Structures are given as C-alpha cells and as structure tokens.
Chain A
Amino acid sequence: MQKAIVLILAVLLSTVVTSLLMAQKMERYNPRLAFEPTFLNQPGTAFRGASGKPGPEYWQNRGDYMITATLDTLSNTLSAREVITYTNMSPDVLPFVWLQLDQNIVQKDSRAALTQASRGRGAPETTDGFNLKSVAIVDRNARVPAKYVVSDTRMQIVLPSPVSPRGGRLQIEIEYNFVIPRQGGGRMGRMATSRGMIYDIAQWYPRMAVYDDQRGWDNLPYLGSGEFYLEYGDFDYTLDLPANQIVGGSGELLNSDEVLSAAQRKKIREAQMSDKTVTIRSVAVVESGVGSGKPGDRKSWHFAMKSSRDIAWAASSAFVWDAARINLPSAKPCLAMSVYPVESAGDSAYGRSTEYTKYSIEIFSKDLFEYPWPVAVNVGGPVGGQEYPGIFFCGFRGKGKELWWIASHEIGHSWFPMIVGSNERRWAFLDEGFNTFVDIAASDEFNHGEYAPKRDAEYAPGGGNPAREIAPLLLDRAAPPIITPADAISEQYRHLVSYYRPAFGLVLLRTVILGPERFDYAFRQYISDWAFKHPVPSDFFRAMNNGAGENLNWFWKGWFVNTWTLDQQVRSVKYLEGDPTKGVLITLGNNGELPMPVTVAIYESNHHSGHVQLPVEIWHSSAEWTFRYPSTSPVDSVVVDPDQRLPDVNPANNVWTSGAPATRPMRRR
C-alpha cells in the first residue's frame, strides 16, 4: 500500500512539474504580440517627428570648451583650467546644471568600484578622481564661486540665476587636476615603454551632462560598462608638456610651426598629398632620441575641433609617427595619422595603421556620410580599443587582421556615436551594434577583402556562419534584450547583446527583409537626419519604417526590444488530388515568437528546382501557412532558408524529405 501511495504522489508531482515546465519552455508564436498595433503608435511630437526625423521644434543644448592643461610627467598629473560656455536652446528655464566628472570612477568608493567587476586588467588602482580647485560661474561679467554638490561621477551646480530658454548662455570656469591612472575605467591611461611613457588621455575635463527632451537632465553615473552621452560644440585646447613629447589630438593642430620642426612640417605636407604612408618621425629617430630638446624644455600644443562631442589626446616621447591623405567624396583635405611605440612598428603591425585608418575613413565616408573633421589619428598604446572624435586608442600589441578589425571598428565609431550622437549609456546598440554592422562591409571592401569576412570577438567569433552561431544566444533565457541599458548587461553578454545581435539584426534587415537598395537609402537618411544630434531608438525605428516604406515594427519588437526566437518549419507536403503531376500544397510552421519572411526551395525528382519567397505577412494571424507550388513530378525535398541566412534555432525541422533514395538535394552553400 505504501508503494501505491508513493506512486500516486509521484504521478501527481510529475504532472504538476511537467505542466509547469511545459508552460515555461513552450514558446508559441502569438501573432497578436508579434504585430501589436500599439507598438510605436504614439504620435510624433514637435521635437521628434513621427517619420523618424528631428521635429520642427527639435532642440539641443550646446557645450563649447576652452581648456589649457599642463602635463607633469614626473607625477603623472594633469592640471588644467577650463571655461565651459553652455547654451540652453531648450524651451525651459534651467535653475541648475549637471556635469560629468568621469575621473571619479577611479576613486576608492566610486559607484563603479562598488558595483562592477573589474574590467580585467590588473589590480584595481585608485586615485582621488578630479580634484576641483575652484568652480565659478561667470554671471554678468562677475566670477561667482559656484554652489555645487558632487555625487560620484556627477556634479550639480545650483546657479545664482537661472539660464534662460532658447539661447540663454552660461559660463563655468573650473580649475582642477587629477592623477593619470594607469587604467582609467579601461578607456584612458598610461603605460611605460622602452622609450618613454605613453599617455592615452580621455575623460580629462569636467563636461556638461546632456539635457534633452526625453528626460531633461540625463544623469546615469559612469559605472564603467556604459559609455557616454555628450553635447556638441567647439573645442579649443592647449597642452603644455615636455618638449620631447609628440602629441596626437582630436581636431587640428593650430600651431605646428611652434611645436614641430621644419622637417616634420615638410613631411606632413608630403603626407597631405600622398596616398601612401609618409613617415614623420621614424623608428630610428625615436630610438636615437634626436629632436627631444633639452630636459626641462616645454612646448604648448594648441588644438581646435568644431562640432564635436568630446576631445581626447595621446602624448609620448616614444611615438613613431606617420600619416597619409584621406580622399573624401567632397575632396576636402583630410589627414590620416598614426602614433605608436617602436614595439608596435612594422608592416605586420602598426606600420599599416595609417593605411587602415585612411581606408576605413574613405569607405565609411563613401557608404554612409562624409567624415567631417580634418584629421583622424590612430594611437597604439595602453588602451585596447576606444574611440573618440578624431582619435582612436588601440592596443599597442595589435597585429595583422586583429589590428585591422579593432582599428576599423574604433574608426567606425566616428559615425556611431561621434556623428550620430546617441546615448551610449542607455542604448549601447545604437553605437556598438550599428558600428559592428558597418564594419562588416568595411572588411569586405578593404584591399579586395584582405581581412574579410569580419569574424572577431564582436561578431561571430567562432568564424563560421553568423546566422547559425547566434542561435544559442536566442535560446538563452538569461540573455537581456538589446534595448537594455549598458550597465545592466553583464560582461558575459556585452559583446553578444550590444554588438553581435544588433549588427546581425541589421544584416537580416538589409539582406533578407528589405534588400540592400531600400535599406541603404533609409539608413543613410537616418544618419544624415541625426548627424550631430541625439537620436533615440524609436527615431531609428521610425526612420527605417518611413525611408524603406515598410512597417517593420514586428522586427523592432522581436529582435531589439525582446529576445524572441526564430524557428521555421516545413510541416507537411501534400500532392494536389494526390497526384504528383498536379503540384503540391506545402504547409509551413512558425514555431518561435519571431516571424520572418520565408524562402523555400523545392527540389523535384525530375531535377527541377525552384525558390518561393513569402512575405512576413503570411504570419499575420496564424502560426501556420499553406501555399501551392506548381511541381509536376514527385518532390524530393522542401527546405526553408536554403541559404542558411536566418538565425533559426532548430534547423533540423527546416528540411522535409520524401525519404526517396533516388535524388538527394544539393546542399547550397
């Protein structure tokens, strides 16, 4: 009797457990959810149009920065004085402003230190972050000490009088210094080389937070994983350093006659007319130490950059330096440069860095939007891969195809987010994903596909078919959706969710759903409409819907907002009137949550084969679709997605075979 009870209880328990499990595992296609009419259905506003363009009243605030900084290479400290001119173009009165103090990430109890696992390299070092010597507001020509509060990497200044709307101006003067960490949040730092310290300097000045029409002040703290959201403006910065330093910086060097030798200036002029890389400071010169000046000598390098959201620079006495011209569609002058230590020299490494820089910019300018700045510098140094307007930090160990991929990726960031100024902290995919996407084409186009196809840590690292490699991610219930804020995505998912998945989504959109002509037209419209502005994801979705003329909401919802899976299936094949000469009725199933257009290949025993393309609308109201195919002989096999372009999580059910041994279908590559 005991056994019977145990049996009954076991049956009960297993029934309950099974039904619970089934409820979780069954991902049934729900057309109501896929084609939800309330998704992206809100009217446009005066600020952001329904068509995905900035609205007629679109506004954006502006930050102009004037900085004079002194680098002390003995104490590795940067001291500076900056004047921020902030213009309030919003329709609102601003009684306070927020600034970003990104160096505070390196403080001992920063929010980043307390919440994030270290980004990997070495023991966590700490500094005091920004040491603010003085903060003042210039109010009607009088300098007034500012009333401010610092909270982690954010500073609020309560203004003596509010900034008026639609053009009101504010001037903030800050004197500060900070110790340059070896690793500053993984995006700046310094490293010793045989010939001197390399300084990769970024997040080096307090800057305005963004005030926008979405949420007013956007004050997410700098936690390490999420990057930046910044205003556009003009920069003017002067760097005082030892005379032996070579500096690469965002923007254009204005006083080359004061800081460069005649020989160096001559080489630069040569480079400006040369498609082949011209050496400005050779390995030999670096190793000989010639031209360093006397110890104690200092130089002031003066740079300026217009219409930018940030500036960064690198300095070292150890830099080799070369350059070549970039050919832009408008023929405006533009120079590609590289600076790197002798350890990175040679054509299998940074010797080709300028070539990679030049061609990346040329390809992206032709395909997307013309590069708007006069210079692009690639720096070989301590930072493995980080982008800034006009300057890129790549790891000094980079070689061959890895160097090409990392360099072209960081350069690609010039478009996303340096030109199309999205909020990297909230929506990493708008820059990382879009950049990874355009990198794919750049790798195909560079030097007759020398490094094609792009397969690296950020895109199909296994090296095979990206559509197949991404399937495990679709099945992973713990994977966050693409739209998740950057700091809410754990490191193990960062590349998969913010780079690979969105890039592959755009590949699907371009090659399967829309076709290249419609996609490219709409994508370029999006870029030019939002150049030097702040788009949000729905602006992109609407821009593509309008420019391509397709309601793609099911795709935005399924791929970007949710983590839906795709599982297409051939369910059955039946001859009309039971007669193989009269054609077949093929029934397809859509088992996963995501619908997709379908390509079906049919192979007949008479060696005829055909392709049928079915639009996504077949899935409007049902998970099953039946269509006729005019075959005239027995069908050997029916295959959905014969070219394996789709991320189907269950490819086994993509193929139906008659079981007839005679002719097996040819496997298409």
Chain B
Amino acid sequence: MKQNDIYRLAAERPDFAAIAEWIPKGATVLDLGCGDGSLLRYLKETRGVRGYGVEISDLDIVSCIANGVNVIQNDLDSGLADFEDNSFDFVMLSQTLQATRHTAELIQEMLRVGRQGIVSFPNFGYWKNRLNVLMGNMPVSSELPYQWYDTPNVHLCTLDDFESFCTAHNVAVLERRVMTGERVVNLLPNLLGSTAVYRFQRGI
C-alpha cells in the first residue's frame, strides 16, 4: 500500500487508526465482516499483522483478493466453525456488530477464537441520533447511512447498552475509544460520541 493510501484510509475510517494503536506488531488477527479488506490491509502495512478476513459479499471477496488480503467467505451468523479455539490474538468486528443477527453468540465466538475482541459500532445514543428520534424520525447519517426500510442494522445500540451487555455476558472491557469523526470524545461519550471502539476479553 502506498503511504498516501494509508493516510487516506486513516482519515476516512478513524476507527482504523484507533484499532491499529491497540494491535502490537506481528499480531495475528481475524477481521469479521472485513468488507473490501481495507482494515486488514491497513494493519498489514502499518503493523505487519498476519490475518484473515471473513466476509459474505461476493463483491467484497473479489476486492479482498485484489487487495492481497486473505479472505474466507462465510456468513457470520452461522458462527466461526472454521476457526479453532484461541487461534488469534485479536478478533475484530468493525462497524458490523449492529448488522449481526445472533449478536450475543457472535461475541462469545469471538472470544472463543481470539484472546481479545475488538468491536467498533455507531453509537445510537449520539445526540444527533437522539434528536432525530425526538423529532420523530429514524436517524440517517454518515455512520447510519440507511433508510429504516433498507437497513442491514438490526441490532443498533448505545454505548451504555453495549457495556451493560458486556457486564451481563461476562465480557471484560479493557479499553474504549469514543470518537466523533477523527476527534476523540471524553466528555459525556454516550451523548457526544458518534462511533465507539472497544477492546475486551473474557471476564474472569
């Protein structure tokens, strides 16, 4: 990847840069719902990771292959049966959590296959989303670009919702990064952050 491609990706997807900061050089990663393989390619170039993507879309499979990224075509909702226990340092789910059907099972699968999990998702509690709902409409934005009738997002949540889920499902959050665009949000994150990235492991 050319240097300017890396900058472009980091600018377009600020969660990529956050994720890359958490991943040590040479780690093994599994990227669930890897799309066209951009994140994996970014991590390969910037962190020298070894890894695989999992993707269901035919078009994305071709893009991943063209991007020189390993990709396994599979439906995340049918589980991660092809992958062995503890076979990756990190299992990532970038901007896909909200579109999974069996979300709780998938998080457990992530922690079976990987030592740590990383998820990023749009914060439904972001004030603009709240305002939209308050005004009587489902939000449509760059993070949530779909109309209510054609959205793949069946499990939208707020940061508070996700954290309660973790507590209830014995998932220990290790680190959290909340952002709006490229800006890190520390104040009232559940209200002021549009995207969140979490790093977690199995609770003890």
A and B are partners in one complex rather than unrelated chains: no
Q: Which chain B residues have a beta carbon within 8 Å of chain A's beta carbons? A: none
